[in-house]
Amino acid sequence: MSAEDRRYLCVQCYGGHVEYRRAQLGYRTCMPCGEAAAKQKKHTVAPMNKSNYMLFTDPEMLKQLNPKRTT
C-alpha cells in the first residue's frame, strides 16, 4: 500500500487530506486547518523560579509573576 492510499479526510474542512504519519500522531485535521486553529489560540509559556514551565492563557496572571516590571 502506498503512502497516497493511507491518507485520511480532514475532520474540519472535509476537503483536505491528513497524511498517514500525521494521523498516526493523533492529528485529524489537514495542515492548513491545523495552522489556522493554532493561530487562534493565545497562550504563553513562562519558566517559574526554581520550578518547571507553566502555560498561561491569561495575560494578567503572567503580569503578576513579576510585579516590578512595568510593561
Give the pLDDT confidence of 19-66 residue by residue, as tens digits. Answer: 888 888 998 999 999 888 888 877 788 888 777 888 888 878 777 776
- For the entire predicted model, the pTM comes to 0.52
Q: Using the structure block, give the residue that is written with the C-alpha cell 480532514.
A: 10
- What are the structural domain ranges in the chain? 3-40, 41-71
User: Looking at residue 5, what is its pLDDT?
Assistant: 56
Cell numbers standing for residue 40:
487562534
**HEC-encoded secondary structure of 37-63:** HHHHCCCEEEECCCCCEEEECCHHHHH
For residues 47 and 53, the answer to whether their CB atoms sit within 8 Å is: yes
Q: Name the phi and psi angles at 9, rounded to 5.
A: -85, 140
> Per-residue pLDDT for 1 more than 60?
no
